[in-house]
Amino acid sequence: MTKYNNTEKGYLKERYQGLTKKNRYQKRNGQPIKCYFTFDEFFAAWEKHKSTYEMKSAWGPGVDHLEQHLPITMIQKGDGTPGTRGGRRKGAKSISSNLSVDRLDSSKPYTIQNLIFIRGDENSRKKNTTYEDCKIQMRLHEERFINMESI
């Protein structure tokens, strides 16, 4: 099992199953969150990501500056025994550079349009910041540093 999970398709299958399992138990406004894409659509989205970003995170300054995007790994460790720690196998260690599948806008469900492939450490940093918070921060930055408005 660990050998298969260390293949690209095996690793992605694990991430996809984690999304669909997590969504079964999460609720928004009292309604269960549904996964709005199949594994084949998920895999196609990953292939498109790779054609644009290679094996690098989408979190960064953009495709014109890929050298500044951090590399993504897909390493599954452990003995293959099913476990419960964060969707990882028993004995698995969290690897910060590993692929993390997230929503670009956390207020919206997992859809292909809202999917983003980033690293685990980047996802950890961003998980406590909402999309609305980012818009506010970008507006303030623009006011102060681009438009040069005073406080």
Q: Please give the pLDDT value at position 146.
A: 84
Percent of the chain with pLDDT over 90: 36
pLDDT at 30 over 60: yes
- In this structure, are residues 57 and 69 in contact, taking their beta carbons and an 8 Å threshold? yes
pLDDT at 125 over 80: yes
Q: Using a cut of 0.85, tell me whether the model's pTM lies above it.
A: no
CA distances from 127 to 23, 60, 69, 77 (A): 16, 16, 19, 24
CA distances from 39 to 29, 44, 149 (A): 26, 8, 48
- In angstroms, the CA 3 to CA 16 distance is 18
pLDDT at 151 over 80: no
- In this structure, are residues 98 and 120 in contact, taking their beta carbons and an 8 Å threshold? yes
Model confidence at 54, pLDDT cuts 50, 70, 90, reads very high
Model confidence at 50, pLDDT cuts 50, 70, 90, reads very high
Single out the residue of 115, 139, 118 nearest to residue 44, CA to CA. Answer: 115
Note the pLDDT tens digit of each residue in 55-113: 999 988 888 889 999 999 998 776 555 554 444 555 666 789 999 998 887 777 889 99
Average pLDDT over residues 134-149: 82
Average pLDDT over residues 8-35: 78
- In this structure, are residues 129 and 107 in contact, taking their beta carbons and an 8 Å threshold? no
